Amino acid sequence: MSNHLALIRALADLQGNPEQYNAACEHGHCVVLAGPGSGKTKTLTTAMARTLIEDVIDPRGVACITYNNECAIELEMRLAKLGIKSSDRSFIGTVHSFALTQVIGPYARCIVGLLPDDFRVATRSESRDAIEIAYEKVFNDAGNPHDRWRFAEEKRRRDVDRNLPSWRGSNHELADFIEAYEDELRHSGLIDFDDMPLIAFRMIKDHPWIRNALRARFPVLFVDEYQDLGQALHELVLLLCFEGGLRLFAVGDADQSIYGFTGANPELLQRLTKRDDVRTIRLRFNYRSGGKIIRASLGALGEERDYRGVEGASEGELTFWPVEGGHELQAQHIAKTVLPALLSRGLRSEQIAILYRAAWLGDKVVDSLERSNITYIRTDSNALVKRSSRLARFIEACAGWVTGGWQVADPPYERLVGQAIGLVYGGRVTEFEEQALSQQLMAFLRGSIDSSETTHVWLQRFQQELITPWQSISRNAHQEWEVCLEMIKRTDPRDNNDMLLTILSGRIDGTGRVTLSTLHSAKGREFDAVILFGINSDDIPNWRDKKSPLALREARRLFYVGVTRPRKELCLVYQKNHHSPWIAELYQRSQQP
């Protein structure tokens, strides 16, 4: 099917929702405010496909900035279904990846003295060393440099434009600390993660020709989950789109802004909607959840919104599970009572998620599930596969290919090659480079088919035959090559953590796995049923949330994100007589007609 025909069908599919259709067809600056389940990703990918096919002439293309790599992979997969394959015409990735591969990488060497040609991204230990050296130079006291750095980090992310008086005026000691730290990195030919958008901002601001070069290549800039991306991205958007001439298409929802600890600020999205040169479109229909869950979600949020379900859709179910005891007993109750109840009603394990506030709570759920012989897949920070890492997702995809995916092109080999190119080169490659990379990859994959290797042994070979040679030729300065080593360590058979390769790939016949995730990691995902675990008076909100109105508001938004994940059923598990105060509001709203 040609991409033109796929686009016609995609646009026709949106015509039943005027807001989605109008957004996909917009030709000016546009902000789409998209609530949970409102078809945000569908609207965004259709708009990107339409722009690439109708508005932007090859070889020009579009750039799309996402919150994390998992979002980028999801967009690439959806665009592929519309006939739009990853290519030099389009960039899809995080703001850090955009800054590094589209601004710093191509243009930094044109600016004398900015960065050495062979700069690289600092490791965690190198950053810690630089912090300690900088602290001694600036403060030279007995304090903890890393405690002070947390405040410096916040300032660094917030005060992007250092030409403004606020840079030194608000706290000159922190400014000195940051500058000393960056000087220490540069002395060693290093930049760090937060450097990327900051350096890119200064390059674009001080050198209008870079702005022009970016506009020539990417006349349209798409931004997904705008509310999560912080001050640096906002300043880049103002420079590129409202001074530099790129057209902006941004999608977001201030009610789902839950990453304040990384510098996210929902007010930045709201500022865009107030501009006279930006069209704001609100997506009102929730295609995901039943009416009762939608009403309950507004009780969880604590504010009114004009969201509505689709006519004829199921109301959905809410169930409340008070437990006489703390986290351990609540986790046991999930394994012994709540999950069996859901399964008895015909829900499938792979469409059930257990969500919780922090990864240490996930450990308690794991203990209970394993005692009940319930299989699971974990996606929090204690998981084997880091979902936000492109390398980890690539390793997982390769495992899926060699454990049967090669027979049905799931995933397609071409996609694996494209991912490998992105990992190693971060962008354009010669035909020779692509062929060499493909030959290495295919040799490894063929050697893995029908192998009896465990995950640990297979990962060791992956590290030796692919990662090691790829590191030596990599042009991608920002690549988490150590991820494979971490996975090897986590599957060490001496700790009884090794597993069949089919477990890593998720290809265990007949055994669906329950998903375990933090509320933060579950954002953007959906399931038939969701179990919210640990909704206790001291957990949601906790004592940190109560320290400020802003923190309390973000905690409420986090609860809202969890409540809006299910399609059919929401189960709340909590300690009896010690439940979160927000549960009562949720219940009251769910009972309204």
Average pLDDT score over residue span 448-463: 91
**Nearest to 524, CA basis, from 262, 227, 80:** 227
Task: Region of 346 please: left (phi>0), alpha (psi -120 to 50) or beta.
Answer: left
List of E strands, 481-590: 514-518, 527-533, 566-575
Q: Is 105 annotated as a binding residue?
A: no
* pLDDT of res. 88: 64
**CA-angle at 528, arms to 526 and 529, nearest 5°:** 100
Question: Residue 355 pLDDT more than 70?
Answer: yes
Q: How far apart are CA 137 and CA 180, in angstroms?
A: 8
pLDDT-based confidence at residue 309 (cuts at 50, 70, 90): confident
Q: Is 38 annotated as a binding residue?
A: yes
Please enumerate in sequence order all residues whose Cβ is within 8 A of that of 270, keeping only pairs 6 or more positions apart, or say none.
254
pLDDT by residue (tens digit) across 214-225?
A: 999 999 999 999
CB burial class (10 A; 0-12, 13-18, 19+) of residue 2? exposed
CA distance 323 to 117: 60
Q: Say whether pLDDT at 505 is over 80.
A: no
Determine if residue 40 is labeled as part of a ligand binding site.
yes
The pLDDT-based confidence of 415 (bands split at 50, 70, 90) is: confident
Which of 4-8, 35-39, 205-209, 321-325 is least confident?
Answer: 4-8
How far is 388 from 293, CA to CA, in rounded Å?
28
Least confident of 50-54, 512-516, 517-521, 544-548: 512-516
Instruction: Give the pLDDT confidence of 6-44 residue by residue, as tens digits.
Output: 889 989 999 999 999 999 999 999 999 999 999 999 999
Please report the DSSP string for 308-346 in residue order. Answer: EE-TT----EEEEEEESSSHHHHHHHIIIIIHHHHHHTT
What integer pLDDT is reported at residue 478 of this predicted model? Answer: 57
Pick the more confident residue, 425 or 183.
183
The answer, yes or no, to whether residue 453 has pLDDT greater than 60, is yes
In the predicted model, is pLDDT for residue 510 greater than 60? no
Residue 412 tokens read as 């397609």
Strands (E), 57-207: 62-66, 90-94, 120-121, 190-191
Question: Mean per-residue pLDDT for 387-398?
Answer: 82
The edge-to-edge listing of strands for the beta sheet with 352-356 is 317-323, 566-575, 527-533, 352-356, 514-518, 376-378
| 41 marked as binding residue | yes
Confidence class for position 289, pLDDT limits 50, 70, 90: very high
pLDDT at 389 over 80: no
User: What is the structure's pLDDT at 387?
Assistant: 60
Per-residue pLDDT reduced to its tens digit, 95-143: 998 999 899 989 999 999 899 888 888 888 999 999 999 999 999 888 8
Known binder of ligand: residue 512? no
How high is the pLDDT of residue 393?
83
Q: What is the mean pLDDT of the chain?
A: 90
Residue 316 pLDDT exceeds 60: yes
Q: How sure is the predictor about 211, in pLDDT bands with cuts at 50, 70 and 90?
A: very high
pLDDT at 506: 66
Percentage of the chain beyond pLDDT 70 is 96
Find how far residue 10's CA is from the centre of its chain: 25
The model's confidence at residue 509, banded by pLDDT at 50, 70 and 90, is: very low
Q: What is the mean pLDDT of residues 508-537?
A: 86
Binding site annotation covers 200?
no
Q: What percent of the chain has pLDDT over 90?
A: 65
Residue 508 has pLDDT above 60, yes or no: no
Q: What's the mean pLDDT in 316-332?
A: 96
- Cα(137)–Cα(177) distance, integer angstroms: 8
The mean pLDDT value for 360-387 works out to: 86
Report whether 262 belongs to an annotated binding site: no
Segment among 30-44, 382-396, 578-592 with least mean pLDDT: 382-396
Residues 102, 91: contact at Cβ < 8 Å?
Answer: yes
37 is in an annotated binding site: yes
